[in-house]
Amino acid sequence: MYQDKVVLCASSAYEKKFWLNDDFEALPDQIKQELKIMSVLFTEDIGGILSMEFDEDGTLVMRVDSEESDYLYDEIGSILKIKQLQREKVELLEALELYYKVFFLGKNASDLI
């Protein structure tokens, strides 16, 4: 069904906006709220645009882009912050990957656990 990257959500320090892909509207409200808080705090602290994307095998990847003229964007800080989020939010991120693999890629949950 899905061949390329699928964006789960994104947050922009430039537009001061958070976006959640409509395909993930079925996620529990608590999960959606956690994604929003995580993303917005990241872009407020680091700057740029954070997007959380699933690659073709269902791995959740955090990608950060910035405008070339954004001298306040903290590139080193973004790498460190992503590593911190991956450590602190490991259960959430793994659960999102499992959700995506089962409901979007059609894999059997018992094979993935």
> Rounded to whole angstroms, how far apart are CA atoms 6 and 56?
8
Kindly tell me if the per-residue pLDDT of 67 is higher than 60: yes
Give every CB contact of residue 96 below 8 A, 6+ residues apart in sequence: 8, 31, 60
What is the pTM assigned to this prediction? 0.89
Per-residue model confidence (pLDDT) at position 70: 84
Query: What angle in degrees, to the nearest 10, is found between the helix axes of 90-103 and 75-88?
Result: 80
Per-residue model confidence (pLDDT) at position 1: 47
If pLDDT is split at 50, 70 and 90, which confidence band does 3 have? low
State the pairing for strand pair 60-65/6-12.
unpaired
Per-residue model confidence (pLDDT) at position 66: 92
The CA distances from residue 22 to 8, 19, 45, 84, 110, in Å, are 9, 9, 26, 27, 27
